[in-house]
Structure 1
């Protein structure tokens, strides 16, 4: 009996030792997984920061640009896009043109190629010499309906594709706020702002807006 008990004890000690080893190995694997998850989160954070930096750089390069939306294809071929922009300015902002020493660095269609699947004309991008001139033009443009030879057109700031997409995601909400006369605006890069109880409210994303509502 004594020998049997000793044998059982040895077997139990061996099992306990194996269990301890197994727990240690599991703990090491779990620690390794935590480290991998942490490394993945850090990599994703760096990637997001890099993407934001590239977007901001791209937007900075465009900070003096104005986009003209709605000009039929080919209108600029005879006189050039720069002359067309000056015609638009003279037609819609005669007083502003007299006040400003407007200097255009370059003007062209964007993108460079025509997409046959796209039903609307390409935008014309005009690069001005001064960012203040762009801001004056856009500020005045928000207060009136613009035309080119009687055809309705729009002027907007020029942003990177990533910023434009982020701003478009507010379109439906922007329209609803405008219908309620809350004076909505899209702030850079893609924040929505509107007046509520006499105060300006700014929201960086839809989740923050939902929490406010």
Structure 2
């Protein structure tokens, strides 16, 4: 009977060790999954930052200031109309000699 109890105790200890090892493996898997998810999130954040910067640059690029034209004049016209006005006022001969498209 004593030998049986001893074997039984050893089996219980072995089972406890196996369960602990499985728990640690599961925790390690969870950590790896979270690290991968964090890397993906960081990549998405960087991509979104890049896109926001591109949009910001595009907006700034289109916001030109033309010397000699007041903001009130600019506000009511699109870029093509402003450039046509400048060309008509300053380059009348050039406009007649060549076919300029804006």
TM-score (ref. length: structure 2): 0.65
Rounded to whole Å, the distance in 2 between the matches of 1:133 and 1:35 is: 55
Is residue 6 of structure 2 the alignment partner of residue 6 of structure 1?
yes
C-alpha displacement of 1:11? 0.6
Rounded to whole Å, the distance in 2 between the matches of 1:135 and 1:19 is: 75
User: When you count helix as a share of all residues, which structure comes out higher?
Assistant: 2
User: When you count strand as a share of all residues, which structure comes out higher?
Assistant: 1
| Count of matched residue positions in the alignment of Structure 1 and Structure 2 | 79
Kindly name which structure, 1 or 2, has the bigger radius of gyration based on alpha carbons: 2
- Contact map agreement 1:138 1:156 (CA 8 A) in 2: yes
Deviations 1:64-85 (A, max 9, x none): 2xxxxxxxxxxxxxxxxxxxxx
Compared with structure 1, are the counterparts of its residues 45 and 60 closer, same or farther at alpha carbon in structure 2 (3 Å cutoff)?
A: same
Compared with structure 1, are the counterparts of its residues 11 and 130 closer, same or farther at alpha carbon in structure 2 (3 Å cutoff)?
A: same
Q: Higher relative CO (CA 8 A, sep ≥ 6), structure 1 or 2?
A: 1
Counterparts of 1:1-213 in structure 2, within 5 Å, are 1-64=1-64, 130=66, 133=69, 135-139=71-75, 141=76, 155=77
Compared with structure 1, are the counterparts of its residues 134 and 40 closer, same or farther at alpha carbon in structure 2 (3 Å cutoff)?
A: farther
Q: Flag structure 2 segments of 5+ consecutive residues without an equivalent.
A: 80-102
Deviations 1:82-123 (A, max 9, x none): xxxxxxxxxxxxxxxxxxxxxxxxxxxxxxxxxxxxxxxxxx
- Contact map agreement 1:63 1:131 (CA 8 A) in 2: no
Compared with structure 1, are the counterparts of its residues 58 and 32 closer, same or farther at alpha carbon in structure 2 (3 Å cutoff)?
A: same
C-alpha displacement of 1:136? 2.1
After TM superposition, what 4+ stretches of structure 1 lie above 3 angstroms from structure 2? 131-135
Compared with structure 1, are the counterparts of its residues 132 and 41 closer, same or farther at alpha carbon in structure 2 (3 Å cutoff)?
A: farther
